[in-house]
Structure 1
Amino acid sequence: MTAPAAEQTPAAPTAEAGPREIYLIGNTVDELGGVTSWTHQMARLFRRHGHPVHVIGIYEAELKLTLPGPPDYPVTALYPSHPPTARPLVGRRRLSPAARLYERRRLAAKQAAVARLSGILAQAAPGAVAVVTQVWPMEWLRQADTSRVRLIGMSHESYAYTRACHRYRWVKENYPHVDRWLVLTQEDADDWITLDGMQNVGAMPNALAHLPGTPSPRTGRNVVSIGRLADQKGVDMLLDTWALVAPHRPDWRLRIYGAGEDETALKNQCTSLGLDSSVEWLGRTDDVPAALAEGSVFVQSSRGEGFPLALMEAMASGVPCAAFDCAPGVREIVRDGEDGLLAPPGDLDSLADRLLRLTGDQELRDTMGDRARVNVQRFSEAHVLERWEALFRLLDR
């Protein structure tokens, strides 16, 4: 059963701000992960609507993102690999010739990277904007010449997740003075305003990149997880949850797509839980719609999120979701009880309950999947692009 409204193409934006140069600046230009995927998605979207785009990263990553095709916009990495980490000359290091040489070389490489960044931004035409997608690049931008661009800072994680880690200090040091500081939901923006007194905050959701022409038939007995195999994504908690579900659903499989530094530890955990016969490790995938087409339920077990693209893609494929309510972005995407089921963050019993409900009720899966496919279109590229155009017009005033 597929809701007819899901096949409608969203209307084009109603207003244009006119072509302007847009620089998208992040940690890397090519790292496997949601922020890099978002960067190239937005670069393609801005280019299709006439804006010249330049994607800039601090360095080239080892674990690469696969793009759908060669980019038709410039892509620049300031370093060929991760830049040297600062090692303060304190204590015995002050007297070490090797330490002093390391620091001189690090600073020289950084000065060269800053000069290269300044040279790129010096070519900006009037009205140009630089969107800093992650806070770390501000370490270079603070030293670069940014006089020809409007600076827009972004966070792709929730207020609570930033507040609990080292990036909170970086945000407080770097973002109060940019032209606009964007977070993913109004709830997060309100927290930054009321709890930290930041007055330049706005909200900008991620955009749904693709609406598959045909939704999942929801006939396969597969629960799908897609994400990096890293602590933030909580795959360890997912395995513990699946250990509660699997005895009740012996004919269902948990299909885990992703790669990352925790892969070996997670596979060992899977074996120790006795789940090898019901868990499939499928590695990274460059064809998310195909992976979702074989799933009937999507699960997200993250410890922290921003505005997860994988969750939106699952809903666009008509696959109902069970997820930890770990961030405002998750509960803004999923309407709990209407088009998906949310569980309290970290509550394994509750997440297992949601999975048991969805895997045990075909009618519930179909009803929520059809609603999800319709509802998620409020985050279409056309609608989100218009919000960006409105922001650009605001910055021109």
Structure 2
Amino acid sequence: MVLRLPDASGALVEHELREPVRWTRPDGPPASRRAYAAAHVVPRALADNVPGAPADVDWDATLAYRHEIWSHGLGVADAMDTAQRGMGLDWAAVQELVRRSAAEAASVGGLVACGAGTDQLDLAALPSGRAGVRAVLDAYREQVDLVAGAGATVVLMASRALARVAEGPQDYLDVYGTLLDEAPAPVVLHWLGPMFDPALAGYWGSGDVATASDLVAGLIADRAAKVDGIKMSLLDAAPERALRVRLPEGVRMYTGDDFNYPELVVGDAGGHSDALLGIFAAVYPAASEALQALDAGDDARALALLASTQELGRHVFAAPTSSYKTGIAFLSWVNGHQPAFAMVGGMHAARSLPHLARTLVLADEAGLLRHPALAAARVRGLLAVAGVEA
């Protein structure tokens, strides 16, 4: 089956779709690594999916996608930035998503972790100084109560509000130290770099990664019993490895590096990372097969499988990195997991047609198109709207 797809210059180039790969579904979660796929949300196709509109979620499609991920043995990281927190998914929808996702996970014994942040706050009305820090702490508490009460693992998400009001490293230590002291169970910390969200520049009180890492390492060492792990999303393997070796025994490094995850997950003599990755929501069949290979002691096959998806990951998360969610939703659509190529907040328009065409080609080359005929039909329709005959 041959498609004519636009390349980066807009020229049409023929691409022949390969036969689908039959991936192996495991009997349960992997034993050698803990792995979460950070899943997206599917809006109702005919909802008012425009910037600023309240999220109107297609709950059947959204939850079915999570069941698909669980069926491959991976956990689901929900209500995270992949789910468009602060980028279309409002607080009312977040609360329903957390409750529904946690209930569905419990129904199948699936692993689920959900983001607890501060996005119910109005940044424009946030007071400065200590009053602002107290408001941030209270907002975190409200969301931690929601996630823990639903039965999910808490991910303390990086906070735009805290980045705005914090006057230095001590404010971060005060907020996170209090939250860890109060946490009913170990939580996952979340370090999201400014390439994902420019509002998070200088997080932890410093623009220098090494200095910020020192603060984080100290915070974790002081309260290791309350920390399940830390998700690090800086798209740079070096600082992740450097912090990973400093973590106390039993505290996990969850890579959030959608560029370098193969080498980090498989690991080396210095250790390995577990995974909490947005790209795993698109490559979960291959990721699952790789984790099965790791369980079997076949590190070379695991690395090859993950490496076969790496170019796709780097393309989907290419600058502007904040638009990566469009690629995740596009692949969900071409694989038949949602009825329309639509996203809350109108973010389905955040990538160009040549970019999406390249996404399709790389997914095909990695064996990640479930039904090539369906994918071809949907992409032909998308391109036809732009006057392109594929």
TM-score > 0.5, shorter chain as reference: no
- TM-score when scaled to structure 2? 0.35
RCO comparison, higher one (Cα < 8 Å, 6+)? 2
Greater C-alpha radius of gyration: 1
> Which structure has more helix as a fraction of its residues?
2
